[in-house]
Structure 1
Amino acid sequence: MQNNSLNKLFATLFSDSLKYVDQSDNYVDIINYLLLSKTEVSHFPTDDEFAESIETRDAYNMRQQTKYYLFDRLENQDSLERVNVIDGMQNNRFTIEHIMPQTLSSAWKNELGDDYQAIYDRWDNRLANLTLTAYNSSYSNKSFHEKKTAENGFDHSGFRLNDFVKGCDQWTEKELIERSELLKQTALKLWPMPSSNFQPKVVENEVYGLDDDNNYANVKIASYSLMNTPYKLPKRTWKEMYIGVVRALYELDPAPMRQLIAGDRTKLEKVLIDHPENGFSQVADGVYLYTSTDNWNKIHKLRDLFDFYGIDQSELQIEVVSGKKEDFVKRSE
């Protein structure tokens, strides 16, 4: 996940959680649910994805602060006997050491075998080949045996990260694979996948006909169906529905709408005109609909338009986002 995606995720996490606080008193459970429900760039990695990243990522060229945190956690884990890794790395007392060096000597090429170049290219900066030391300058590109047994070598290291290395007699791809697996299992233990038992209450959207006794004040629209044909609303706005329905009626039969524009307006006076004007939206060539109005007026004008067309108002079904009953305000007679 990119840093900018993380910034957006955590910036909205608290406000998102407030939507569910009345459904659970376990705030952590809600946060975990939100994290696990993210998709695309905000997707929370699975254990397999996380483990693969631990194994394959270029850990040496990570951001400095990320490396401080990573090596501190891997070194100290949950021990109460802690080494101040972050302070040591910041002050250059501790540095990251490539066990297989960045420049391969003849001895290293021989130890790695015929595929030394492929092994080097694959493992050079991966976490399995990296460790901590306070004696980086003395290691250089010495053979593994020298790095291990020399004064202040791996055998004498106090870092937990070097415990596996102490038990090795050579450093080949076999050891790299084994240490990689060990580090993966350690990482999965240190950073477990969050879990959540929280399930938000599923509230199904409600569907109303245009002929229902509602004016839809303070209600969000989800979609609509006209004459059994469903229509999606990408922006989910009442204006979008209003224009779409009027456009569909015009395409069904333009004559009644042209008649209204020509002057037989009745209850639809000043709702449809034949030229662009502020507050009007185009629905067809030479047909402009007044859309700068509230839901109450949109619904009433659609009812009048359906009556003018001779179409039963129930042919328009409106799906609204379910809310409290008081959100539906009865229309005045």
Structure 2
Amino acid sequence: MKTESHSINDVLAKNATSFFIPPFQRAYAWGKPEIERFFSDISRIIESELDANQQDKQEHFFGTIVIKEEKAGFANKSVIIDGQQRLTTTLLFLIALRDTETDPHKQEFITNTYLINNSSTFQDKIKLKQVTKDWEAYKALVNKSQPNPGIISNAYELLKKLINEKRSLNPKINFEHFIIAIQRMNVAVIFLDERPFKGEDPQIIFETLNSLGKPLTLSDLVRNFVLLNMESNNQSDIYEKTWYPKIEEVLQDYTSEFFRDYLQYKTASSLKVVNDSNTKELYQQFKDFVENKFTNHNEFIDDIIRYVKWYKWIINETNIDTISKNNSNDKEIKELLRNIFHDIKSEAFKPFVLGLLEYHQYSTENPRLNDELLISILKTIRTYLIRRRVLGLTQGENKNIVTLCNRINDIATGKVSMIELLTNMFYKLRLPNDSEMEAALRSMNFYEELKQYSKFILGKIEEHNTKVSVDFRDQRITIEHIMPQKLDNNWKAELGKNYEEIHKKYLHNIGNLILTEFNSEIGNKSFNEKKMQLNQSSLNYRLDIINRNVWNEQSIIEHQKNMIKWFLETFPLPDQYKDKNNWNTNTVDPDPDANVELHIFDKIIEVNSWQDVFIKFLKYVKESPNYDFDNILNNQYKLFKRDDVILKWSSLKKLIESNRDLENRYKTFDGKTCCKVKDPNDDLLFVHINISASTCISRIATITEEIFLPSDSIKIKLK
């Protein structure tokens, strides 16, 4: 390895050198902030040049570029191991400068000096070969053609705008000043020694380098691991013919998630959700698996590509591929996948269902799952999930469902059924029986507490009763309150003297709700007017309403019974499980909700679970003037070894966008999940509650020590 100092101008102006950005590199990623910072550095150099009082003109250190030299005929090919964002931005700047010039000689100077050379083996003699995703747009700009919209063309347009604005603000600035600025942008160029005994492994160097403050994704690292040690021609061939079109182009933003879920399925073990803080940890686990499992990288590529299509069926809400040759089965499988992963939004079952699809589609080594068995399994999973969601249960799923991946072969060979697996989990992962569901549905605020799932549930009930699918996802299909949200005198008379109590108790109950196609048209009309309108509905729900003469407490209770009965028929359990305790009573829950009491000094604080203990303790500290809660908020990593134990809504909602399961892993100090808080402001605090008893105690002990709270002032007692 040798390091030399050069200006970015000297690097790019080499006539006998072409630059190759290998396919393991990420596509161009600089946005407006990075480009404006780049141009600000250019501007400072120009202003220094124009300042007659400055003897030593300003220069700028532009960072590091790592190059591995290869011979390409009589010319040199510089493979860019790191620094492609800097090089690409500089070249886009030069193209923009060229295109803002009217002098053809200056335009030609830029094209011939920086953009093309006669020894280049790339198309149109272009000096820099971009990654596949950026190549067409970059090539169009070099050739003065109109590029397709995208990040490359956006950067080019922004740079043109900045150049023009700079000139308009100071007419003294000319073409030469911009070239001088490029000549004073210095880089440290690291040349890697190709001799293997020198130990300069490009892969290790790539993993070590900081990619301009933009963390490498798991997808970036895996791509690098697979391709980097190949010759550049082989890299291009495999990337452009296999890796990009068969993996990245298919999965796009889901590629990193796919690698994690593939590994979870293969190892039947739970891995962390992909984020910037744990990418390298996940990558190391992935790398170890590939090196132990496969004899070479081509074998790994062949294996993983098989799973891309199946994973696409999981992540895409609509699917035009053929899963089953039987049209009816094909339609049903696709709808079940959509229910599980888009209507219910389960993350936990992705690796498991990926495995089911392998056994259904690919039978070379495995016993095959036929259509009927796959449909039956997916229905059981859907029932398991929606029953648990009605009860607000999600805790433990992501960690434990993935372990069932090693039982798929047993399911396929008939040794065990899906229902047996799901009813043999510990209590917190139980499959709620009919009695538990009836009790919950009778008393719960179905309309508000189940906003995420209510239309799905009612749509599936309608479909079950009529055998005709209902497009419950259509915004024109809405949930209607029969007894309206505001009572007029007619409705008060309809309900009787206890109308206030009835209204409060049953307004959002499942017994007062139906699915309709014309919610806004029904509104607060009288019951008879609503019946007349419902006569025009095509949905079966209306029949249970229009046959009644009045709508009062008794009517609501009767409709409630019907709705609950239909729910249990739509998401059914086999007879032997309907009234059974559907969990393994011999297995100790690794994180049971103990019956506990929290004592702080002489005050007894009512709590219902270990997560409640932690929330109430934090709330006490926050509300007490004697303790510095902000210190806890600002030093979370030091205290808890993670920085997301307490989050503001502004941060949490961004995490939820990429992982819906987090909605149920955080609560406010009032014990509400985010979906139950109306219009939360950005500063509202949420506490991570997906914790065990030992974690709860450990966190409280750490905080106690940090704020100098006497250790004997906190007591947690089991009742």
Distance 1:195-1:177 versus aligned 2 partners, 3 A rule: closer
Contact 1:17 1:34 in 2 (8 A): no
For 1:41, give the aligned amino acid. Answer: K
Deviation at 1:124, TM superposition (A): 0.4
Distance 1:40-1:15 versus aligned 2 partners, 3 A rule: closer
Q: Using the alignment, how far apart are the partners of 2:560 and 2:444 within structure 1? A: 11
Counterparts in 2 of 1:100-115, with a 5 A limit? 100-115=483-498
2:481 aligned residue (89, 98, 115): 98
Structure 1 partner of 2:552: 172
Structure 2 partner of 1:57: 444
Deviation at 1:193, TM superposition (A): 2.1
| 1:8 maps to 2:396 | yes
Counterparts in 2 of 1:3-152, with a 5 A limit? 6=394, 8-9=396-397, 11-16=399-404, 18=406, 25-26=413-414, 29=417, 31-77=418-464, 79-86=466-473, 88=474, 92-149=475-532
CA distances 1:79-125 after superposition (whole Å, capped 9, x unpaired): 44322122x2xxx2121111000011111111111111111111100
CA root-mean-square deviation: 3.0
For 1:104, give the aligned amino acid. Answer: L
Deviation at 1:37, TM superposition (A): 2.6
For 1:13, give the aligned amino acid. Answer: I
Contact 1:33 1:195 in 2 (8 A): no
User: What SS class does the counterpart of residue 75 from structure 1 fall into?
Assistant: helix
CA distances 1:142-170 after superposition (whole Å, capped 9, x unpaired): 21112112xxx112221111110010111
Counterparts in 2 of 1:250-265, with a 5 A limit? none
User: What SS class does the counterpart of residue 119 from structure 1 fall into?
Assistant: helix
CA distances 1:245-298 after superposition (whole Å, capped 9, x unpaired): xxxxxxxxxxxxxxxxxxxxxxxxxxxxxxxxxxxxxxxxxxxxxxxxxxxxxx
Structure 1 partner of 2:306: none
Contact 1:13 1:34 in 2 (8 A): no
Distance 1:122-1:39 versus aligned 2 partners, 3 A rule: farther
Contact 1:147 1:154 in 2 (8 A): yes
Distance 1:19-1:144 versus aligned 2 partners, 3 A rule: closer
Distance 1:14-1:131 versus aligned 2 partners, 3 A rule: same
Q: Using the alignment, how far apart are the partners of 1:24 and 1:142 within structure 2? A: 55
| 1:193 maps to 2:544 | no
Distance 1:27-1:169 versus aligned 2 partners, 3 A rule: farther
Contact 1:148 1:155 in 2 (8 A): yes
Contact 2:471 2:477 in 1 (8 A): no
Q: Using the alignment, how far apart are the partners of 2:534 and 2:467 within structure 1? A: 23
For 2:443, give the aligned amino acid. Answer: T
For 2:497, give the aligned amino acid. Answer: D
For 1:174, give the aligned amino acid. Answer: Q
Contact 1:35 1:44 in 2 (8 A): yes
User: What SS class does the counterpart of residue 469 from structure 2 fall into?
Assistant: coil
1:154 aligned residue (524, 531, 534): 534
Please identify the structure whose Cα radius of gyration is greater: 1
Deviation at 1:5, TM superposition (A): 5.4
User: What SS class does the counterpart of residue 476 from structure 2 fall into?
Assistant: coil
Structure 1 partner of 2:104: none
Contact 2:395 2:429 in 1 (8 A): no
Deviation at 1:74, TM superposition (A): 1.4
Q: Using the alignment, how far apart are the partners of 2:575 and 2:401 within structure 1? A: 16
Contact 1:102 1:124 in 2 (8 A): yes
Contact 2:491 2:526 in 1 (8 A): yes
TM-score after normalising by structure 1: 0.50
Structure 2 stretches lacking a partner, 5+ long? 1-387, 578-589, 591-719
Q: Using the alignment, how far apart are the partners of 2:503 and 2:537 within structure 1? A: 24
Contact 1:111 1:172 in 2 (8 A): yes
Contact 2:527 2:551 in 1 (8 A): yes
Distance 1:169-1:23 versus aligned 2 partners, 3 A rule: closer
Percent sequence identity over aligned pairs: 26
For 2:403, give the aligned amino acid. Answer: S
Distance 1:194-1:171 versus aligned 2 partners, 3 A rule: same
For 2:431, give the aligned amino acid. Answer: F
Deviation at 1:48, TM superposition (A): 0.7
TM-score after normalising by structure 2: 0.24
Q: How many residues align?
A: 190
User: What SS class does the counterpart of residue 515 from structure 2 fall into?
Assistant: strand
CA distances 1:288-315 after superposition (whole Å, capped 9, x unpaired): xxxxxxxxxxxxxxxxxxxxxxxxxxxx
For 1:170, give the aligned amino acid. Answer: V
User: What SS class does the counterpart of residue 396 from structure 2 fall into?
Assistant: helix
Distance 1:34-1:115 versus aligned 2 partners, 3 A rule: same
Contact 1:32 1:196 in 2 (8 A): no
The structure with more helix, counted as a fraction of residues = 2
User: What SS class does the counterpart of residue 85 from structure 1 fall into?
Assistant: coil
Q: Using the alignment, how far apart are the partners of 1:37 and 1:66 within structure 2? A: 26
Distance 1:162-1:38 versus aligned 2 partners, 3 A rule: same
Q: Using the alignment, how far apart are the partners of 1:119 and 1:28 within structure 2? A: 48
Contact 1:75 1:160 in 2 (8 A): yes
Contact 1:96 1:136 in 2 (8 A): yes
Distance 1:4-1:143 versus aligned 2 partners, 3 A rule: closer
Distance 1:187-1:174 versus aligned 2 partners, 3 A rule: same
Larger relative contact order (CA 8 Å, sep ≥ 6): 1
For 1:116, give the aligned amino acid. Answer: Y
Q: Using the alignment, how far apart are the partners of 2:430 and 2:447 within structure 1? A: 25
Deviation at 1:173, TM superposition (A): 0.9
